[in-house]
Amino acid sequence: MNKQKSADLSRRHVRIRPQNAAALIARNLIIRGLRQHDFHHALRGRPAFVGFVVHRAEDIEVFANESLLLLRETTEKKTIYDVMAWENARKVPNTNDIVQTLSDKGIVFGFASDRTDMPAAFRSLADGIVTLDAVDERAVSAAFQTLFHSTPLTSVLCAAATLPIDVLNICLQRGITLRQATGRIQRYLSASKESPITVASNHPRLENMAGLGEVADWGKSLARDIRDYRERRIPWSDVDRGVLVSGPSGTGKTMFARALANTCGVPVHVHSLARWQARGHLGDLLKAMRAAFNEAVKSAPNILFIDEIDAVGDRRDLSGPHEKYSREVVNALLECLDGAEAREGVVVVAATNYPEKVDPALLRPGRLDRHLRIPLPDCQSRLSILRYHLGHDLPDVDLADIAIHLGGATGAIIEQVVRDARRRARHAHRPMTTADLEDGLPSRIRLSEAALRRMCVHEAGHALVGSLLSSESGSTLIDIRVMQEITQQNTGGQTTFRRTPGFDRSRASYLAEITTLLAGLAAEDVVLGGHADGAGGEENSDIHLATILAARMDASLGLGGSLVYLTSDNPAEILAQVRRDSHLRRQVHARLKACAHRARTIIGRNTRALELLEACLARRGHLSATDVSALLENNPDNFSSNCDCESADQVT
């Protein structure tokens, strides 16, 4: 930021909603400071020269930008205003320039982190200098209420108020849930307390862990490669340099990194953006990031684990006052990942719950070469996880029913069930029993037969249409799961697809993907005469995702009837644009309606296949992609995915 900045926005008396948590908090504190010092008349367009002292120099730009928007919103068109900002007093602005600015403008706000950084001419002519309150519970609570329409516990608000405003901006990101926001705050606060380097010998090996799927296979292969590298049979260039591991929260991504290091016989360095941010400002963060890689190189070979790498951000979605900050973080991480020679002996394992939010540049060859997924454990894996955590307890007891009851549970939940059972037995001064385990099982709701059938029809619809449109959408089926007994952590049904890397994402592929998303709802309409509420109601539901895809085509990607760019590819901004723009809303509605019609037509032409999938799914609860392919190939009907979806074009 220059030592002095000014801006002249077009004078329109219009309400402008702050775009992020940092802006919301800054606006709250500015208005509060003006009112406390009886300068609120400045927000009604009356002349005022006010200086503001901000607690952190790094926040000056946020406050200055938000004050411009605030003045633009609250003053009349004829009011002339300006905003200045000074980072330090090394370069003192010309006194004549200050006087000229004050004489030309009716309202002038000036920002600095110390009143002595403000030019003497400004201090002497200002109506007053306001020291803004530090971020506190009230400001954070207001930001929570605006972004999430709810506020967390007081303890969370107190903890959040201790964080820098740029960190809060990441924690309280638009588009995430209240639970995710509070989780980010708690993880950030605890990150600096954790030891960054862990000796792997105290952790399990990959062969002791169940339910990891393809991740375990890759890890065992890596262990062989590292052994060969140590024994000089292969060069480091033949070893995978990095991997992105994704999966639902609690599936064991961090535990996998520790087990991987133990299996490879190397130490693991555990890091995260939150830990690096805990060191201080942007410069300190970047130093901590580079130091993490440098320390890993010194003790190579080893594993460098980066948790929640999605927090680093995706440069395609960056906007607002912290865009430059976030972009520098992404660029610095790319520099650290680049160059196999520069980090020889260091394998980077990055974990995320949201792989779609990771900057694509991080996934290019030479960086995070592969993307592997950890699924929710199946019944046999849940049984193995139970046995691992039980150790020597209950060695001869059949735990199959308990493993079945834990359907949909992650490894973390299973570990907690065992830990709680062990605590009950310990407090009762007796050995553990199966009753101790059963008492700690998550409460479950048993679906009625009608609800289970609807779920099977719904998921079979996704699988059928998704398989038939695979060549168009670029997504291949992984598996289908349904459960009659559900917990608060799962919805009871899930159909998983994987997008083919490098697939040509044309207009047709987007329409096919939307059609697949709406196929569950369409199957209910065809088979049951109408659909229930399972396709919508929350983030990442079928309707939510389909709406975002349909709107992206027109608002951001140029795949509709217009090449006009309306908003970024960020899902929250896409939905905000849909809410504001009635024309776009009609476009989206027509496209969703056309794709739902196509899905119903495909299902209507392949009802026998749908019935086979539904029946098999109801009987077994889980079908793999191979199972689905076998059922479709053996079906005597002639399958057809042909159904003109051009009605979606009529509105574009």
pLDDT score, position 73: 81
Number of domains in the chain: 5
**Domain termination site, one of 421, 442, 463:** 442
Same domain, 77 and 157: no
Same domain, 539 and 479: yes
pLDDT at residue 380 greater than cutoff 50: yes
Same domain, 310 and 362: yes
In a domain, 5, yes or no: no
Same domain, 434 and 453: no
In a domain, 584, yes or no: yes
d(C-alpha 81, C-alpha 43), whole Å: 11
Same domain, 453 and 437: no
Q: Which residues face 419 on adjacent strands? A: none
Q: Of the given ranges (79-93, 466-480, 635-649), which has the lowest mean pLDDT? A: 635-649
Same domain, 610 and 522: yes
pLDDT digits (tens, 9 = 90+) for 270-313: 888 888 877 667 777 888 888 888 888 888 888 999 988 888 87
Same domain, 609 and 626: yes
d(C-alpha 31, C-alpha 71), whole Å: 11
pLDDT at residue 182 greater than cutoff 80: yes
Same domain, 465 and 535: yes
pLDDT score, position 52: 92
* Contacts with 129 (C-beta within 8 Å, 6 or more apart), sequence order: 50, 51, 52, 53, 115, 118, 123
CA distances 290 to 161, 348, 361, Å, are: 28, 13, 18
CA 85, 88, 89: angle at the middle one, nearest 5? 110
| Paired sense of beta strands 107-112 and 302-307, if any | unpaired
Q: Is residue 588 exposed (0-12), middle (13-18) or buried (19+ Cβ within 10 Å)?
A: buried
pLDDT score, position 641: 53
Band the pLDDT of 13: cuts 50, 70, 90.
very low
In a domain, 13, yes or no: no
Containing domain of residue 83, as a range?
Answer: 21-131
In a domain, 312, yes or no: yes
CA distances 147 to 126, 150, 156, 572, Å, are: 35, 8, 16, 11
pLDDT score, position 93: 57
pLDDT score, position 590: 95
Q: Where are the beta strands (DSSP E) in 530-633?
A: 622-624
Identify the CATH number of the domain in which residue 493 sits.
Answer: 1.20.58.760
Same domain, 113 and 183: no
Q: Which has the closest alpha carbon to 195: 298, 260, 268? A: 268
Identify the CATH number of the domain in which residue 365 sits.
Answer: 3.40.50.300
Token pair recorded at residue 600: 């119903």
Length of the chain as a residue count: 652
Same domain, 369 and 383: no
Q: Which has the closest alpha carbon to 261: 330, 315, 209? A: 209
Report CA torsion sign: 615, 617, 619, 623: positive
The residue annotated as part of the active site, out of 66, 415, 459, 614, is: 459
| 3-class SS letters over 154-179 | HHHHHHHCCCCHHHHHHHCCCCCCHH
d(C-alpha 632, C-alpha 610), whole Å: 9
Band the pLDDT of 611: cuts 50, 70, 90.
very high
Longest dimension (CA), the chain: 89
Same domain, 208 and 174: no
pLDDT digits (tens, 9 = 90+) for 235-263: 888 888 889 998 877 777 888 888 888 88
In a domain, 10, yes or no: no
Is residue 459 among the annotated active site residues? yes
**Domain termination site, one of 442, 474, 490:** 442
pLDDT digits (tens, 9 = 90+) for 48-96: 889 998 887 778 888 888 888 888 887 776 778 888 888 654 455 566 7
Higher pLDDT, 292 or 444: 292
Higher pLDDT, 229 or 519: 519
In a domain, 237, yes or no: yes
Identify the CATH number of the domain in which residue 404 sits.
Answer: 1.10.8.60
In a domain, 16, yes or no: no
Same domain, 185 and 234: no
In a domain, 85, yes or no: yes
Q: pTM, whole model, 2 decimals? A: 0.53
CA torsion, points 241, 244, 249, 254, in degrees to nearest 10? 0
pLDDT digits (tens, 9 = 90+) for 189-236: 776 554 444 444 456 788 877 777 788 889 899 999 998 988 888 988
**Domain termination site, one of 373, 397, 414:** 373
